[in-house]
Amino acid sequence: MERSIDIGVLGAGSFGTALAKLLADKGHTVTLWTRAEAAARAMQDSRENARYLPGARLPDNLRVTHDLGDAIAGRPLVLTVAPSHATRETLRAARAHFGADTIVVSASKGIENESLATMDEVLAAELPPGPAARTAFLSGPSFAKEVAAGLPTAVVAAARDASVATAVQTAFATDRLRVYTETDVIGVELGGALKNVIAIAAGMGDGLGFGHNTRAAVITRGLAEISRLGVRMGASPLTFMGLAGMGDLVLTCTGDLSRNRSVGLALGRGQTLAQILADMKGQVAEGVKTTRSARDLARKLGVEMPITEAMYAVLYEDRPARQAVSDLMGRAQKHERG
């Protein structure tokens, strides 16, 4: 892939905007799509996404549009960063505009509620045959604000076709973004989606006033249940030791910029889910919806995921946070790797 190419980015939330800025700063010509015409016009004129990424100036070679065809047609690489629950709808609307050889990169992290489909499965179902065979998935510990600020970050690009992963690596890598390649798409996808559920649990422990011991236990046992589900679905256990597993999990469970951890903090302090979502003012915490998907998927496959079950009870069955912790601590004793 040439060093400087035309790239379309679908989704102008904080992470989509940060990645679009990074790609444009590298020298690519970037077209960023947002659903609302007024928002597109405001960003194009002000050179800033004031709602989702205030303070980060958009380079002159980054153009903003509300026209899907304008963002996709003729571009060899398209990045989709729509929220996971909106990815299928977005791709279905965009389907006619993709070229036969387009590489489609997904940076969305989640699992659909009703279908229990990963983003990999959504892309395979909704893209034309050519692009569907040339998909990649970008994941790893990467807060949007820090990516936009150019702070050193490492991520992983996963694709079943190693040449596609390498092409994405070449397109995205900069002196501040190190991109590793991987072929374990399932592992990278699940690591990126399920860490958000565990981050809500870690935040809840902090909100309840528990200490570092609790947080370390949640992270470690959370990784164990993520790995169990991943291996059951065909992933390599080693993937969960990497950037899309442990790396992203630690960041999201401990970082102050984590929206999922913030949801957990508020739950631990006694707020209801409805209050928390209202206070987020349009920001998306993927872990809220993914908790339902992960719980349903685990039950379907017969995989034990006690932290996920506990978070489902808190989020969707109004179980008090302290009771959920007591339930987890009161489970039967067992071997650590059992």
For residue 281, what pLDDT is reported? 73
- Final residue of a structural domain among 152, 183, 214: 183
**Identity (one letter) of the amino acid at 273?**
L
71-86: average pLDDT: 96
Cite the active site residues: 195
Percent of the chain past pLDDT 70, that is, above it, reads: 99
Q: Are residues 289 and 213 in the same domain?
A: yes
Percent of the chain past pLDDT 90, that is, above it, reads: 96
Asked whether 106 and 132 are in contact (CB, 8 A), the reply is no
**What's the whole-number average pLDDT of the chain?**
96
Measured distance CA(21)–CA(149) in Å, rounded = 10
Measured distance CA(106)–CA(256) in Å, rounded = 25
Indicate the pairing of strand 29-33 with strand 62-65.
Answer: parallel
- pLDDT at 200 > cutoff 90: yes
| Confidence band, pLDDT 50/70/90 cuts, at residue 1 | very low
Indicate the pairing of strand 135-139 with strand 153-158.
Answer: antiparallel
Q: Are residues 201 and 160 in the same domain?
A: no
Q: Are residues 205 and 163 in the same domain?
A: no
Phi and psi torsions of 5, nearest 5°? -135, 170
Q: Are residues 26 and 164 in the same domain?
A: yes
End-to-end CA distance of the chain: 46
Asked whether 267 and 207 are in contact (CB, 8 A), the reply is yes
For residue 118, what pLDDT is reported? 97
Measured distance CA(256)–CA(38) in Å, rounded = 31
Q: Are residues 174 and 196 in the same domain?
A: no
243-250: average pLDDT: 98
Q: Which of 293, 268, 290, 288 is nearest to 278 (CA)?
A: 288
Lowest-pLDDT range of 37-46, 211-220, 283-292, 314-323: 283-292
- Final residue of a structural domain among 183, 218, 249: 183
Measured distance CA(184)–CA(241) in Å, rounded = 13
- E strands along the chain, which residues? 6-10, 29-33, 48-49, 53-57, 62-65, 77-80, 103-106, 135-139, 153-158, 177-182
CATH code assigned at 174: 3.40.50.720
Q: Are residues 111 and 226 in the same domain?
A: no
Segment 103-123, tens digit of pLDDT:
999 999 999 999 999 999 999
For residue 283, what pLDDT is reported? 77
Instruction: Determine which helix (DSSP H) or strand (DSSP E) holds 314, and give its type and residue range.
Output: helix 306-316
**Identity (one letter) of the amino acid at 104?**
V
Q: Are residues 18 and 151 in the same domain?
A: yes
Domain span at 246: 191-329
- pLDDT at 45 > cutoff 90: yes
Q: Are residues 176 and 261 in the same domain?
A: no
Q: Give 212's contacts (C-beta < 8 A, 6+ positions apart).
A: none
Asked whether 268 and 322 are in contact (CB, 8 A), the reply is no
- Final residue of a structural domain among 183, 206, 237: 183
Asked whether 205 and 325 are in contact (CB, 8 A), the reply is yes
CATH code assigned at 272: 1.10.1040.10
This prediction has a pTM of 0.96
For residue 220, what pLDDT is reported? 98
Is residue 336, in this structure, part of any structural domain at all?
A: no
Count: domains in the chain: 2
Measured distance CA(220)–CA(217) in Å, rounded = 5
Burial of 81 (C-beta count, 10 Å sphere; 0-12/13-18/19+):
buried
Q: Are residues 202 and 278 in the same domain?
A: yes
